[in-house]
Structure formats: C-alpha cells, structure tokens
Amino acid sequence: MGDPDPADDADEAETLVDELAQARSEDIPHHVLAMDADALRHRIATAEDVMVVHESLRALTVQVDVGPTPHDERTTEALMTALTRHDNERLAVAAVSYCHQVSQVVPERVDEYTRPLAVVLAHDQPPVLSDLSTDAHHGSLRTIVRTLNTAAEVDASAVVPCISGLAHYLDAWPSQRSLLGWIVQLFEQVAIPDTETIQSRPAHRPFYRWGVVTGHATAFAPHVQTLASVTDIWDDVCRGALTVLYAVTRASPAAIEPALPTVIDTWHAAHSDRRSWIWLYGILSVALDETPALFDGHVDRIVDGIARDVARLYAPPLVSRERLTRARAALPGQMAVLVALSAVFPASTARAMRETRLAEVLRGVDGAIDDLTPMLVQPLSNSEHRACRVQFLELLHSIATRFPAAIESHTDVVQPLATDGSPDVSQAARRLLAAAGLN
C-alpha cells in the first residue's frame, strides 16, 4: 500500500470542517473551526479579546459534539482561566454548553465539566446567568442542572462546589417553580439519595431515622434559610426542600436553627395527609432529640399545629380514603413530638395543650386511637413531665372513653397517681380509671 496522498488528507480535513459547520449552525469563522484542539485551547487560555475566547470555545464544543476530541486537564484549566479572567455573559453561556457536551461524551470524567461550572456559578457579583427573562439564560441554567445531575450519578462530591451558586437562584427567583424544582431535585440527589424507599408512615416511637444521608449534607447548612423560604407552596419544590433540610438536620442538628421558625410555620400550616409532612416530622423529631433548646419560644405554635391537624380528623373533609388513612397514620408522629416537647418544656406544653383543648379534639377523631396509649403513658412516670401530667391523663381519658381496654395494661402507672399529692393529678387519674372501668 502506498503513502497517503496529501491531497486526500486535505479533502478529508475540508470535509470535516464542513461537517462541523453543518453540525452546529453557528456563526463561527471557518478558519477557527479548522483549528485543532491544542490551538483552540491556547486561544481560550491566552486571548485577551473575550470574543476570540468565545468563538474558540464554541468551535471546541462542536469538535466535542462530532469528535473524537481529546479531553484532558489542559482543556479544563484553559477554560477556568478564561472564565476567571472574563466576566462575560456570552462566554458563560458557551462554557455551559461545552461542559454539558463533555458530560454526554465522557460522563465519568466529572472534574472536566463540573469545575468550570463552579466558576460560572461562583462570581462575586450576581451570577451572569441571573437574568432569567430570556429563554437562553433559562435554558443555560437548566443545562447546568442537567449536567450536574450527570455528575452526581458518578460522584456527588463533584457537585458540592456548585451548591452555593445554585442556591442563589432559590433566593432570587422564588416564582420560577419549575426552575427551583430542577435545582432542589439535584440537591436531594446529593444530600439524601434514594428517598423512594422511605416509608410514608411514622414509626410508633418518638424518634426515628430513615434514608441514608450522605457526607455532603453539611454543604447545604449555610443555605437552610434559603431552602426553607421555598416551602411556602405545597408542591414538589416544597417537598424537595424539606427533604434536604431533613438531611441537614440529620447531619448537623444545630444547623437547622436559622430555618427553624419557618419550618415550624410550615408545620403549623401542614396537613398530615401530604407527602411533605413526613419530612417536617423528621426535622422536628431529630432536632428535638439532639438540640431541644432550639425550641424555646416555639412550643405554642407547634402544639397548635398538632391540634389543628388532629381536628381535621374530627370532621374530615371530603378527601380520598388514601389521604385520610395517611393522616390518621400520622397521629403517632404528632403525639411523639408532643411527648418530646413536654419533656423539655413541661409547663408551656401543658398550657398549650389546655388552650387548644387537645384532649377534647383527640376524643372526636374518626378512627382508632388506642395505639397511642403506650406513648402517652410514658410522661406519667417521668418526673420531668410533672407539670403536664394532668394534660396527658386527659388525653388518655379521651382514649379510655372509647377504648377502655387500652388502659388496663398500664394500671401500674396510673393507679398510684390516684392518690397523688396534687388534687388536680389525683382527680384526673381517678376519672381515667373510672372511664376504663378500673376504679
């Protein structure tokens, strides 16, 4: 076989340029499209004129698209150098397009397409893609999230440097719910993947954990207030934000403090038949278990939220049987929060239970409530609950009036209280025993 004909090589090169130009109908100069990858990298890293950098990056993106084009650290460094030097909107959009294309060709090489995106998102001033009034900018941000989703499937740690930049959009564009949904879904994947395996019903114990929280959850701690701010509308954005807040609380319970008032407001407004409720319950249960002092001053609002939700079971609205079943199944979780609060703030919890007439509300629940008995008996034997014993005896009386047998196995706790030194406690205990037919 003879040596290659230089004329054939020239024809092949010309054909490739034509194919590249046709593959992307962009106004890229012909001679730039004809450059090899090394020449384009050099221009990207060194050119002072941002438009030269821009056209070179677009040409390199076309080569990646119809490739093969070599991918190595040199390209990444060149692009990061250019992005750091030039704060330019068009260059940022082109960088996003390039990174996405690389993620499609070599998804396993996450550093090559996530590090430049971190630079795009991390400018000191508002991000250059912050003007979402145009389809191009909106599309670029969506492309960033899609690209980072690819990275998260390979190595979630590669996404962490981009979290702060993406969190900006949650705060700056609260009305863009579809956009927020993409971002929050990515955050979930990084913080607590595989949430689909989580049971939708709380266990019948005060505190429990579910899901595998990754070591990256603490990266969201500086953004808990921002995440909490998007929970004002009951949708997938709300559920996703609460999921990430739950992961943060699991990883570092004290980190939830700045967002706790908003979380409690959301709890107060929540319906336990919604999917978001379980994450609210998880946040409160973990924080109460680990850092109960954070709840000082919030007891009334939490107990009022419990009473309001239990009251919905007193006269249930016209909802599906599935949602009503889910709401009833949430009762143990609500009572668990109540028991935990009473251990730390007995006096204020007792007052809130009395003012909301919680015992009366519980008595009217349309459904079985006898399974709550073991949990509600616990505070009667703990000295720290002394100030709210009467209120828990009243809750148990509500159960005994309909399910008297539920009290029988707990007479060893209730009977001594019938002769308690406090007239209020002894009277409430005798009423309970009489309701259960045990006097």
Encoding tokens for residue 426?
């002894």
CA dihedral sign, ordered 284, 290, 291, 292? positive
Burial of 403 (C-beta count, 10 Å sphere; 0-12/13-18/19+): middle
- Which residues are CB-neighbours of 28 under 8 A, at least 6 positions away? 21, 55, 58, 59, 62
DSSP 131: -
User: What is the mean pLDDT of the segment spanning 231-242?
Assistant: 90
User: What is the mean pLDDT of the segment spanning 423-428?
Assistant: 94
To which residue do tokens 């090589």 refer?
Answer: 9
**CB of 91 closer than 8 Å to CB of 99:** no
**CB of 162 closer than 8 Å to CB of 220:** no
Per mean pLDDT, which of 214-228, 229-243, 277-291 is the most reliable? 214-228
User: What is the mean pLDDT of the segment spanning 9-38?
Assistant: 63
Give pLDDT, residue 140: 85
Q: What is the pTM of this model?
A: 0.85
DSSP 235: S
**% of the chain at pLDDT higher than 90:** 55
CA distance 439 to 89: 80
Task: Name which of 25, 110, 108 is nearest 76 in CA terms.
Answer: 110
pLDDT, tens digit (0-9, with 9 covering 90-100), for 33-86? 889 889 999 999 999 999 999 999 998 888 887 666 556 688 899 999 999 999
Encoding tokens for residue 407?
């009290």
- Considering only the C-alpha atoms of the chain, give the largest distance between any 2 of them, rounded to a whole number of Å: 111
What angle is formed at CA 106 by the lines to CA 104 and CA 108, rounded to 5 degrees? 110
User: How many residues in total does the chain contain?
Assistant: 439
Give pLDDT, residue 295: 96
Task: Name which of 183, 94, 175 is nearest 132 in CA terms.
Answer: 175
CA dihedral sign, ordered 356, 361, 362, 363? positive
User: What is the mean pLDDT of the segment spanning 239-264?
Assistant: 95
Least-confidence region, from 12-21, 153-162, 291-300: 12-21
pLDDT, tens digit (0-9, with 9 covering 90-100), for 300-313? 999 999 998 888 77
User: What is the mean pLDDT of the segment spanning 107-132?
Assistant: 76
pLDDT, tens digit (0-9, with 9 covering 90-100), for 308-367? 888 877 655 556 677 777 778 788 889 999 999 999 999 999 999 999 999 999 998 877
**% of the chain at pLDDT higher than 70:** 83
CA distance 198 to 208: 12
Task: Name which of 196, 197, 117, 195 is nearest 149 in CA terms.
Answer: 117
CA distance 420 to 435: 18
- CB neighbours (10 Å) of residue 173? 17
**CB of 339 closer than 8 Å to CB of 378:** yes
Per DSSP, the three-state class of 193 is coil
Quick one: pLDDT band at residue 201, thresholds 50, 70, 90? Answer: very low
**CB of 330 closer than 8 Å to CB of 363:** no
Q: What is the rounded end-to-end Cα distance, in angstroms, of the chain?
A: 109
- DSSP for 29-77 reads -HHHHTS-HHHHHHHHHH-SSHHHHHHHHHHHHHHHHH------HHHHH
Quick one: pLDDT band at residue 170, thresholds 50, 70, 90? Answer: confident
CA distance 152 to 114: 10
Mean pLDDT (the chain) is 84
Q: Evaluate if residue 368 carries a pLDDT over 90.
A: no
**CB of 310 closer than 8 Å to CB of 271:** no
Give pLDDT, residue 337: 92
Quick one: pLDDT band at residue 195, thresholds 50, 70, 90? Answer: low
